[in-house]
């Protein structure tokens, strides 16, 4: 990954402030890219530390897809959550990405 791939990076200026619309657009793009990977390869988690991060990311993706009314994507994310995480894990959608 190059510096140019990072959010808020501008050639010649380095990092700059980004507005809420840019952040939302970038988050949506990242979730769409992650969704495509999940469709193609499924979920691969190498260790327990990554498992917790994956759980949070999937719950946030689910929240975003619910808000965007992308229910086909919701279905896949929910299936992956149910298949890969313990029954006592919290699998509810997270909407805290709005304030991150």
- 28 closest CA partner among 56, 80, 67: 67
Distance CA 75, CA 65 (A): 10
| pLDDT of amino acid 10 | 55
pLDDT digits (tens, 9 = 90+) for 1-18: 454 454 555 556 555 666
Distance CA 57, CA 94 (A): 9
When pLDDT is averaged across residues 25-37 and rounded to a whole number, the result is: 94
- 85 closest CA partner among 57, 32, 37, 35: 57
pLDDT digits (tens, 9 = 90+) for 64-99: 999 999 999 999 999 999 999 988 899 999 998 777
Distance CA 73, CA 50 (A): 22
Contact between 23 and 7 (Cβ < 8 Å): yes
């Amino acid at each position: 990954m190059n510096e140019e791939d990072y959010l808020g990076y501008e050639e010649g200026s380095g990092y700059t402030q980004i507005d809420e619309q840019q952040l939302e657009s970038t988050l949506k793009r990242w979730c769409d890219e992650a969704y495509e990977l999940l469709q193609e390869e499924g979920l691969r988690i190498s260790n327990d530390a990554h498992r917790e991060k994956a759980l949070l990311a999937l719950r946030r993706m689910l929240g975003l897809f619910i808000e965007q009314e992308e229910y086909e994507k919701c279905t896949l994310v929910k299936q992956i959550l149910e298949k890969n995480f313990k029954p006592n894990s919290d699998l509810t959608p997270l909407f805290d990405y709005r304030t991150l």
